[in-house]
Structures are given as structure tokens and as C-alpha cells.
A and B are shown apart, each in its own frame.
Chain A
Amino acid sequence: MRLKVKNLHISYGKIEVLKGISLEISQGKITALVGANGAGKSTALMAISGILPLKEGSMEFDGKTLERIRPDEITASGVVQVPEGRRVFRRLTVFENLQLGAFLRRNDHTVKEDIERVFTLFPILSKRKSQEAGTLSGGEQQMLAIARALMARPKILLLDEPSLGLAPLVVEKIFDVLLKIQSEGVGILLVEQNARWALEVASWAYVIETGRIVLEGPGSQLLMNDRVRSAYLGE
């Protein structure tokens, strides 16, 4: 299964933020989207999630076109976003946050199973389950945000800056889990400012600059690319 995004244009008022980008995300693979602040990475994710209306462009998932459809329909079709800055529901408990991730599913039995499953991925959440999400540490909140999205049983997971503001060890742990999720067949679109981490795990990567894709290729190859090295890896 593939999510194909073609020629995406997005404007905020008169300012065009995305000037026609095309991406392809496959199930069971990690695809990275790297770029500087303000290049349009988050905007692209918000557009794919249906939260920003498309001005132009089309999306196709699993052979079906997704056009002018609502965010909840996109989530229901299996494309789920973990937005930037974690955005857990601070006043709800960890458990309630996870239940909300499964909002579209009504079968309590499978929801319970899935909660157990994310607890094995992130054991710390199980310890914290009756605590309010606002009292969690930054790393725990990021884990909760990912776990919450997994509750929707995504086929494609869109991750916006999962490493933002976290200690390196925590990031490592989160990336381990992402690899595990990927090996279970979920496709991941990883948006990162921290290009090195992203490129190391990505089988295919795109580099975005001021609303355009300027470079693409296998992650390992881009790590060697001179332009990428000087602009994003600080070498």
C-alpha cells in the first residue's frame, strides 16, 4: 500500500508555502522529509492529514483518491499524524489519551488489546497510565503521542519532529520503537530538523527548501551528498 501525494500547493493567505511537492510513502518503510525551519515540512503534514485545505494537488492512498475529505476520514482510512510538539491532552490521563486514539473504533475488546500492545512498546506509559498527561516528562509525552496515534491502527504514520527538545537517549529509544513499528508493516513519514537521525533510518528521503522538493534519494545516499552535508549536517 502506498500513499502518493502529487503536486501539493498550500497557501496561507497570499503567501504560497508549498509550491507543488510530490511524495510517495510506502507501507513498511521509513520515508524522511528533511529541511530547515519554515521550509514547509509541518504544512505538508497538515495538508496530508486534511487539516489544511488543498489549494491544488491530489492524494492517493491504496489506489483510492483522497480529495476534499475531512481529517477524520483520512484518519479512518489509515493515515494518522503525530503533530509537532507532542500535543497530548494534558488534563486527561495517559489511559484516556490512549482511549481517544481509538476514537473511531468502538470494539472495546480490540481497544484493550491495543492498549496492552502499546504498553509493551512503551513500558513507562503503563506505569503512568492513571496520571494526567500534563504531568509527564517531555520524552514520556512524545511516547504517549506516538502510542496514541498507534491506537488508531495506522497504515501510514506521519511523525512531525519526534526528537524536538528531547535528550539524545530518549530520542534513541523512540527511534528504536519507530523501527519496530516499521518492521510490523506500518509506513512512516518522518519529518525532522535533525537530519542525521532521520537520514540514517530512512530508506527514502526528500529534502525540502522553501516549499519545493530539491533533492531525493535513499537516506544513506543523501548522508553522503555534499549539499546535504553542508546545509543540514553541519559538516
Chain B
Amino acid sequence: MNRRGIGLYQATKKIPRRAVNVFILLILFALPLFDRNQYHLEVLVSAGIFAILVLGLNVMTGYCGLLNLGYAAFFAAGAYTYAILNVRFGWSFWVSLPACIISAGAFGLAFGSCALRLKGDYLAVVTLGFGEITRIALNNMDSLTGGPNGLTVAHPALWLPHKRLAFGINSLPYYYLTLLAILVTVIIVSRLSSSRFGRAWIAIKEDEVAAACLGIHTGKLKLLAFCIGSALAGFAGWLFAGKQGFVSPESFDFITSIMLTAMLVFGGMGSIPGAIVAALALTIIPEVLRPLQQYRMFFFGTVMIVMMLFRPQGLFGGVRIFEEFRPESERIRQEEDEALGEDLRQ
């Protein structure tokens, strides 16, 4: 019986996951000790913010199968919530956090409760339109959002016992803040994925009718996934606004949403390490390719195409679906059925 794919999957399962995770985390925490290059840290912080976004998008698209091409709108909701609270009402960075998460989540809830009547490609088109509407609205609501000029917001600061430690434009504190934020996000997302809700989301993605037959309220659960995904985007937006010290509509354009979707596909739908590695890779690759100047995006595109040709399931999406794509698997299944018949005869 050919079950090599499964064997491989179970073999990778045997490596103590926790040990690997702690090891990676230690390296990441120690990294700035070896590399104090501001530019490097800056790129890593951007990649980290993308990683949080991809993890959030993974909840709605990777788990629940809700294709969202306007995800940047929820990112914007978080960023602008902090910006407006800070500029208009003088709220500090830390105090604004719950408001950013709640407002983006509420935004997702309101939009989702209308848009989730649609499925698949139709939903994707509506989310795309919604993303653009949000950006254009931000561009035109000058009195609230500063329009195309954006808003300049305060960088975060920490009050230590003796002095005030302003983050300013030094990348180092943001590096640690982002690392912490990713850690929190990973814990939330992985807890969710192994909960009954996580299982139900995957069930809905695979077969909505079968899920409904088991008593899963598919509408409610899809809305929940949408809402949680949006709230995580709000979290990332809060971090982004604080780190940039500036928000403007152009950071939340269609290309950002597409990039996030590309990262999700590149890493493998439904995979947490995949989301993080893809966010890192697809942020770092264009930076590394900078010397190629105008050919940069060409090479970037090539990487994506090659990837989709040779590993369509994404970097980490692999082992679990591998078996299904094997041409011989149907034959094996038939053989097994015969074997099952033999078993029963005895």
C-alpha cells in the first residue's frame, strides 16, 4: 500500500514542534544583537506587519474560504482609527489599541453581514469594490482623514520608572513590538484553528452543505471568521500607524490587498508558518532585487510564476493535500475497498 505522503507527514510531526518554535523565537529575539543595521530591521518590521495581516487573512480565506480582495480596507480601519483618535482627540498609542481592534472588527461585521450573502468569486469582486471605496473615501474625507495628505500621528513611547522612552524613528523598539504582536497573533490564530470553530471553518470551506447538515450555522461562522480576520487587520493597522508616524490612503490600495493574497497563496492556505515565511520572503525578495532597478518586479513576478508551477499548494500547504493529487490515489482507493471487502468476509 502506497502511503508515502502520509508517512512523510507523520515523520515531520514527530519533531518536537515546541522546541523548534522556541529556537526560532530565540534567534529572532537575539537578531538585533548581531545586526543593528536600521535598514534591515526596518524591512523586517514591514515584513512582520505583513505577517500579522496574512495571518488575519488566513482566518477568513485560508480557513473559511472567504476570498477577500479588499483586505487592505480593514488594515486602513485600524490605522486610521489610531490616527484620528491621536490627532483629533489626543489618545496615546497604547490606549488606542482596543479601539483600533474593535473598530476594524465592527467594520468587518457590518460589511460582512451584507457581503457574505455572496459566495466565491462574487464575494471576491464585492470585497475588491469595497476596498477601493474605502480608499477613495479616505482620500476625500479631508476634514476627518486629511485626504491625500494623510495624517501625521505620534510615535509610541514607553514610560519607564525614571524616564520617558520615545520610540521615535529608531527601528529597534518597533522590531520587538512587532515580534511581540506576531507572537500574540500566532497564539490567537493557532488556538482558533484547533478549536471547534477552526474545524467548522475548514468544514465550511470544504463543503458548506455537508457542514450545514451537521448543524453548523454556516452564516454565523462565516461572519465570525470575517470579523476576527478584520480585527487582526485592525491590530496590524494600529502597529503600522504608530511605526510610520503617518497614514495616508495610498498605503491601503488595491495592490496591498493583492500582495497579501499572494503571500497567503505563496505560503500555503491555512498554514501559520506559511503565512509568516511568505510575508518575510515576499517583503525581502523585492528588497534584495533592488539593484536590478526596473527589472525588479519582473523577477519578482517570475518567482511567483515558478512557485505556482512547481508548488501550487504553497510553501507549507503541501503535505496534507499531497495525497489527493497523486494520479494513482484513485486506484489505491479501489484496491483498498476490495481489501476492506476481504476483511469483512472473514
Query: B287 at the A/B interface (Cβ < 8 Å)?
Result: no
| B215/A76 in contact, CB under 8 A | yes
Chain A, residues 160-172, CB within 8 Å of chain B (1/0): the string is: 0000001101101
Which chain B positions have C-beta within 8 A of A72? 212, 215-217
A200 at interface, CB cutoff 8 A: no
**B345 to A100, Cβ gap below 8 A?**
no
State the Cβ distance, A116 to closest chain B Cβ, in Å: 19
Query: Hey, which chain A residues are within 8 Å of B323, CB to CB?
Result: 132, 134-135
Query: Is B216 touching A100 in the complex (CB atoms < 8 A)?
Result: yes
Beyond A91-B321, A103-B196, A131-B6, is A170–B341 a contact (Cβ under 8 Å)? yes
> Contact: A89 with B202, CB < 8 Å?
yes
Interface residue B55 (Cβ < 8 Å from any Cβ of A): no
Query: Please, what's the 1-or-0 string for B37-73, where 1 marks a CB less than 8 Å from any CB in chain A?
Result: 0000000000000000000000000000000000000
Q: Across the interface, do A149 and B214 meet the contact criterion of CB distance under 8 Å?
A: yes
Q: Which residues of A contact B199 (CB under 8 A)?
A: 92, 96, 99-100, 103
Give Cα A152–Cα B211 distance, bound, in whole angstroms. Answer: 12
A185 at the interface (CB under 8 A from B): no
Specify which chain B residues have a CB less than 8 angstroms from the CB of A114 in the assembled complex. Answer: none
Question: Is the C-beta of B320 less than 8 angstroms from some C-beta in chain A?
Answer: yes
A138, CB-defined interface residue at 8 Å: yes
Q: Are B341 and A167 in contact (CB under 8 A)?
A: yes
What is the minimal beta-carbon distance from A131 to any residue of chain B, in angstroms?
7
Looking at A46, A72, A134, A148, the one whose CB has the most chain B CB atoms below 10 A away is: A72
Question: B328: CB under 8 A from chain A?
Answer: no
- Say yes or no: is B206 at the interface (Cβ < 8 Å to chain A): yes
**7 shortest interchain CB distances as A-B pairs:** A75-B215, A137-B336, A169-B341, A87-B210, A71-B212, A72-B217, A104-B215
In contact, A89 and B337 (Cβ under 8 angstroms) = no
Q: Are B338 and A167 neighbours in the complex by a CB distance under 8 Å?
A: yes
Q: Which residues of A contact B321 (CB under 8 A)?
A: 91, 134
B214 contacts A101, C-beta separation under 8 Å: yes
Interface residues of B in 190-225 (CB under 8 A from A): 196, 199-200, 202-203, 206-207, 209-217
* Residue on B nearest A141 in the bound complex, by CB: B333
Q: Hey, which chain B residues are within 8 Å of A149, CB to CB? A: 213-214
Which residues of B are at the interface with A, using a C-beta cutoff of 8 A?
3, 6, 196, 199-200, 202-203, 206-207, 209-217, 320-321, 323-324, 329, 333-334, 336-338, 340-341, 343-345
Contact A103:B337 (CB < 8 A) given known A92-B199, A132-B323 = no
* Count of CB-CB pairs between chains A and B under 8 Å: 114
Instruction: Report whether A49 and B337 are in contact in the complex, using a CB–CB cutoff of 8 Å.
Output: no
A3 in the interface (beta carbon within 8 A): no
Q: 0/1 per residue, A42-60, Cβ < 8 Å to B?
A: 0000100111000000000
User: A173 in the interface, Cβ–Cβ < 8 Å?
Assistant: yes
The CA of A71 and the CA of B206, in the complex, are separated in Å by 18
Residues of A contacting B207 in the complex (Cβ-Cβ under 8 angstroms): 87, 89
User: Is A90 close to B, CB under 8 A?
Assistant: yes
Given contacts A96-B199, A134-B324, 5 further A-B pairs with CB under 8 A are A72-B217, A131-B6, A135-B6, A140-B340, A152-B215
The proximity string for A residues 132-162 relative to B, scoring 1 for CB distances below 8 Å and 0 otherwise, is 1011111110000000110010000000000
Contacts of B216 in A (CB 8 A): 72, 100, 103
Stretch of A8-16, A28-36, A77-85, A220-228 that contacts chain B: A77-85
A214 contacts chain B at the CB level, 8 A cutoff: no
Neighbour of B213 across the interface among A81, A96, A137, A173, CB < 8 A: A81
Cα-based distance from A140 to B334 in the complex (angstroms): 11
Query: By the criterion CB–CB under 8 Å, are A83 and B213 in contact?
Result: yes
B341 to chain A, nearest CB (A): 4
Q: Which residues of B contact A233 (CB under 8 A)?
A: none
A81 contacts across to B, CB distance below 8 A: 213
12 interchain pairs (CB within 8 A)? A49-B213, A51-B213, A72-B217, A80-B215, A87-B210, A89-B206, A92-B199, A100-B214, A103-B215, A104-B215, A131-B6, A169-B341
Complex: chain B residue closest to A71, CB-CB: B212
CA distance A71 to B216 in the complex (A): 8
Q: Chain B residues near A70 (CB, 8 Å)? A: 217
- Contact for A51 among B212, B334, B344, CB less than 8 A: B212
Q: Which residues of A contact B203 (CB under 8 A)?
A: 89, 92, 100
Are the CB atoms of A75 and B213 closer together than 8 Å?
Answer: yes
- How far is it, in angstroms, between the C-alpha of A98 and the C-alpha of B9 when the chains are bound? 21
Task: Decide yes or no whether A124 CB sits under 8 A from chain B.
Answer: yes
Which A residues are in CB contact (< 8 Å) with B206?
A: 89-92
Q: How far is the CA of A131 from the CA of B3 in the complex (A)?
A: 11
Q: Which residues on the B side are within 8 Å of A83 (C-beta)?
A: 209-210, 213
Measured CA separation A46–B212 after assembly (Å): 10
Cβ B217 vs Cβ A100 within 8 A: no
Tell me the minimal C-beta distance from A76 to chain B in angstroms: 6
A81 nearest CB neighbor, chain B only: B213
